[in-house]
Structure 1
Amino acid sequence: MKITKIFTFDSSHMLDGHDGKCQNLHGHTYKLEITVSDGLIRGGAKDGMVMDFADLKAVAKQEIIEPFDHAFIYHGENARESQIAALLEGWNMKTLRLACRTTAENMAFEIYGRLKKRGVCVCSVKLWETPISCAEYEGE
C-alpha cells in the first residue's frame, strides 16, 4: 500500500559551470511529492493507515520544508557558489549547503535520504522544478 503527500517550497540555486541558463542564480517554486509504502497499521487510532498524513507532514516540514524554503541552496564544494552563500549569510539571509550539485536529481536523492534517516518508509520522492520538469528517486 502507498500514500503520497504533496508539498511546495520556494528556493534559489545555480549550477555553476552549466552550459545553459541554469548557470545563473535563479529560483523555483518546487513541488515535492513524497510517497510512502508500508503495510497497513492494525489497531489503535491509526488503524487502516500506512502512515498518518499529519505525521508525514510534520516530518517533511521539519526535515525538508523549513531548511529548504526561501533558502539559497548551494553546492558546498563549489567555490563560486560558496562565495555567494557567504555573502548572503553576511547579510543574515538563509542558505542551505548541500554536499552535491543542486540539480533536481541530486535534491530528490538528498530529500529521500533525509526522510529515511527519520525512519519514514519513503519509497519515492518526485521533485518538480517547473510545472513540466521533474526528477524522481525511487529507493533501492
Structure 2
Amino acid sequence: MLKVAKEFSFDMAHLLDGHDGKCKNLHGHTYKLQVIVSGETENSGAKKGMVIDFADLKKVVNDLIISPMDHAFIYDQSSEREIKIAQFIFQRLKENVGFHLHSVRLWETPTSFAEYGEE
C-alpha cells in the first residue's frame, strides 16, 4: 500500500476559555493541514500510476474544509481543540469522498501538530 499527501493552509481564530496563559485571549494561527491518502496505484486510464490525482484531492479538501474554515472563529472550552479539529476534518472528508483516507495532520504551529486517522 502506498501513501501520498497534500498540504493546505488556512487561518483561524480561537481562544482557550479558562486557560491560565496568554492563549486565554482571542488570537489566531495559520494552520497547516496535511491530508494523507493510501491505496494502490491505478492500473489504467488517465490516472494510471496515481493513488489519487492531487487536483481532485485539492478540490475536495478546498470545498469541504478550507473554504468553510478559513478565517473562522472556533470557540471550544476544551484543551484538546486541535485533536477535535483534526478528528472533525477526518470524519468530514471520510463521509464525503470516494478514496481511502489514511489520516490528517493539523499543525497549530510549525512544531506542534495533532494527527487523527483510523486503523
State TM-score, norm by structure 2.
Answer: 0.89
More strand by share: 2
Aligned residue-pair number: 117
Write out the 4+ residue segments of structure 1 that deviate beyond 4 Å after TM superposition. Answer: none
Equivalence map 1:1-140=2 (5 Å): 1-75=2-76, 103-119=81-97, 120-140=99-119
Tell me: CA distance 1:129–1:34, structure 2 relative to 1, closer, same or farther (3 Å): same
Superposition deviation, residue 31 in structure 1: 0.6
CA RMSD in angstroms, aligned pairs only: 1.7
- For the Cα contact (< 8 Å) 1:15–1:24, is it kept in 2? yes
Following the alignment from structure 1 to structure 2, what is the Cα–Cα distance between the partners of residues 67 and 29?
15
State TM-score, norm by structure 1.
Answer: 0.77
Higher RCO (C-alpha under 8 Å, 6+ residues apart): 2
Superposition deviation, residue 106 in structure 1: 0.9
Of stretches 113-122 and 42-51 in structure 1, the one that deviates more from structure 2 is 113-122
Superposition deviation, residue 117 in structure 1: 0.8
Tell me: CA distance 1:3–1:110, structure 2 relative to 1, closer, same or farther (3 Å): same
Percent identity of equivalent pairs: 55
Amino acid at match of 1:45: A
Superposition deviation, residue 73 in structure 1: 2.0
Amino acid at match of 2:109: T
Following the alignment from structure 1 to structure 2, what is the Cα–Cα distance between the partners of residues 29 and 67?
15
Amino acid at match of 2:100: C
Unaligned runs of 5+ in 2: none
Amino acid at match of 1:111: I
Following the alignment from structure 1 to structure 2, what is the Cα–Cα distance between the partners of residues 19 and 114?
32
